[in-house]
Amino acid sequence: MTKRGQGRFALSCFTAALALGCSTSTKTSDARLAEGASAPAAAAAADTAAPGVNGGQAGSSAVVMSSPAGEALPGGLAVAPSSQASAAAGGAAGVAPDAASRDASSAAPAPAILGATPPMGWNSWNTFGCNVSEALIRSMADAMLSRGMRAAGYRYVNIDDCWMNGRDADGKLRWSDNFPTGMPALADYIHGLGLELGLYEVPADRTCASTYGGYAPGVGSLGHETDDANSFAEWGIDYLKYDLCRGQRSGFAVMRDALRATGRPILYSINPGNGQDDLCPPSSCALDLPSIANLWRIGFDIDTQWSSWLRLIDENANLYAFAGPGHFNDPDMLEIGRGASADEDRAHFSLWAIMAAPLLAGNDLRNMSAATQAILTNAEVIAVDQDPLGIQGRVVATPAANLQVWSKPLSGTNARAVVLFNRSAASADINVQWTALGLPGGAATVRDLWSHSDLGSFTGSYTAQAVASHGVVMLKVAALPAGPS
């Protein structure tokens, strides 16, 4: 649906700091990839954890992270020593979600902060719009298991707009008749599968689908934040998508505080933009986004067109400094399996992964093709997205018009994820130089994350031959230690 712009609600961080605990230091201390610095120190420091976006408790637990100790990052960039303190103390930290402990089949330790890595899951909007129901959500949750999504790391099952049905006499939100057994029972079902349940609301009187799509029962949370956050917590909700949609930007911190007051860890995802003409990316938003939410939309809605994917990639490309464990840029949900070519779908997934973006599938998981399933569950690409350093990759070279080299530092020493991205209309060779990745110029091993094969050891650079139009080659490059001199 098309939305008209609306004047920005200018809330200064100073004002917010008085009323809402906005951290004025977050933006600067979270400039984790500060130009010119050279001493990464990505580990430790987080056992000073401060209250989180929601439900966080001071000093709850340490963030355990690998450090690429002593290595240079691309282009002379570095992880600032304050970055982890920022991730923990900048307001986006929270205690581990209880669903982690519900997940009996996972041997991994519970994450120490809420949303330490980008959330993975599914959302109803892209395919189903307002046609949401309990039956749909239950069947999609079942498909999360049967189609290998849960095993690949996807956890959230998010019901977007149109689940609500006004308010009762006490002002409490009601779920629609399409959810006959109700949200608590649905949450129990979802949790029983080792999954988590998300809902949608807005800091406005009416939801987006009510304002633009005629969904009359779509009431918003403005002025009802405490009641609604309590309802979400009572129902067992684990994730809230809070979408401005002509609402009030000041309402994002109000809902953050209301969620926090419930004591339930609820991942907080916001869209601070109004339509296409009034975006609010962290580089220019009057809100201090990392202190408010675990993730924030950086652009207008994605659709199934390649051009919209490029638009969001380009809008997100220079926002890498604002991402970190517990707080990520959100270039919107995935459109994989919704009509694009396999090359384009692989490119979409690769770019979202190297940008440390949330991986929220938007297709119908129940009937997706084996090819779509293979893309969405590629463990090696997902590992790039979920790398515990939480660094958003960036463009480090542009060998020719419409050819890009993206790089993302990974845990471990001198390891990089690399996407060689062909945006052009013809296939092309794409070369990557180790120096562009901030690696020593000697030998490095190269692994192809789509063919799942080790390509060998290469000195100084690697050239991928005939990268498909609108396609990628995605690599892991790991420099070999220099031999004795």
- Tell me the catalytic residues: 243, 301
Report how many residues bind ligand GLA under the rule CB under 6 A. Answer: 11
CA-derived radius of gyration, the chain? 22
List the beta strands (DSSP E) in 19-147.
120-123
Residue 271 Cβ, how far from ligand GLA at the closest point, in Å? 5
Nearer to ligand GLA, 242 or 421 (CB): 242
x/- site string to ligand GLA, residues 24 to 63, per CB under 6 A? ----------------------------------------
Gap between the Cα atoms of 374 and 336, Å rounded? 11
HSE-CB for 261 with a 13 A CA cutoff: 14
Sole residue written with tokens 């909700």: 237
The three-point CA angle 87-91-96 to 5° equals 75
Which residue of 103, 134, 161, 344 would you call a contact of ligand GLA, by CB under 6 A? Answer: 161
Residue 110 Cβ, how far from ligand GLA at the closest point, in Å? 29
Residue 387 Cβ, how far from ligand GLA at the closest point, in Å? 26
Residue 223 Cβ, how far from ligand GLA at the closest point, in Å? 20
Nearer to ligand GLA, 87 or 162 (CB): 162
Sole residue written with tokens 């519970």: 110
Residue 176 Cβ, how far from ligand GLA at the closest point, in Å? 14
Which residue of 34, 197, 209, 233 would you call a contact of ligand GLA, by CB under 6 A? Answer: 209
Gap between the Cα atoms of 244 and 201, Å rounded? 9
Q: Does 271 bind ligand GLA (CB under 6 A)?
A: yes
State the burial class of residue 2 (Cβ atoms within 10 Å of its Cβ: 0-12, 13-18, 19+). Answer: exposed
Nearer to ligand GLA, 242 or 349 (CB): 242
Residue type, 259: L
Give, as one character, the DSSP assignment of residue 122.
Answer: E
Q: Does 160 bind ligand GLA (CB under 6 A)?
A: yes
Residue 245 Cβ, how far from ligand GLA at the closest point, in Å? 6
Is residue 141 within 8 A of residue 190, CB to CB? The reply is: yes
Q: Does 330 bind ligand GLA (CB under 6 A)?
A: no
Is residue 402 within 8 A of residue 393, CB to CB? The reply is: no
Give the residues across from 430 on adjacent strands.
Answer: 464
Residue 228 Cβ, how far from ligand GLA at the closest point, in Å? 16
- Which residues, numbered 456-485, are part of the site for ligand GLA (CB under 6 A)? none
Q: Which positions ≥6 away from 168 have C-beta within 8 Å?
A: 174
HSE-CB for 461 with a 13 A CA cutoff: 13
Gap between the Cα atoms of 392 and 387, Å rounded? 10
HSE-CB for 208 with a 13 A CA cutoff: 24
Nearer to ligand GLA, 49 or 202 (CB): 202
Nearer to ligand GLA, 207 or 329 (CB): 207
Q: Is 58 left (phi over 0), alpha (psi -120 to 50) or beta?
A: beta
Q: Does 208 bind ligand GLA (CB under 6 A)?
A: yes
Q: Which positions ≥6 away from 90 have C-beta within 8 Å?
A: 23, 25, 26, 29, 30, 50, 290, 291, 326, 327
Question: What does each C-alpha distance from 450 to 305, 340, 409 come to in angstroms?
Answer: 23, 18, 18
Residue 367 Cβ, how far from ligand GLA at the closest point, in Å? 22
Nearer to ligand GLA, 202 or 229 (CB): 202
> Among residues 172, 288, 312, which one has the least CA distance to residue 232?
172
Q: Does 134 bind ligand GLA (CB under 6 A)?
A: no
Nearer to ligand GLA, 6 or 106 (CB): 6
Which residue of 238, 243, 344, 364 would you call a contact of ligand GLA, by CB under 6 A? Answer: 243
Residue type, 320: Y
Which residue of 9, 125, 175, 320 would you call a contact of ligand GLA, by CB under 6 A? Answer: 125
Helix, coil or strand: residue 448:
strand
Q: Does 301 bind ligand GLA (CB under 6 A)?
A: yes
Q: Does 295 bind ligand GLA (CB under 6 A)?
A: no
241: enclosing H helix or E strand:
strand 239-243
- Which residues, numbered 61-120, are part of the site for ligand GLA (CB under 6 A)? none
Q: Which stretch binds ligand GLA (CB under 6 A): 52-60, 204-212, 252-260, 278-286?
A: 204-212
Q: Which stretch binds ligand GLA (CB under 6 A): 106-114, 202-210, 262-270, 358-366?
A: 202-210
Residue ranges in contact with ligand GLA by CB under 6 A:
125, 160-161, 200, 207-209, 243, 245, 271, 301
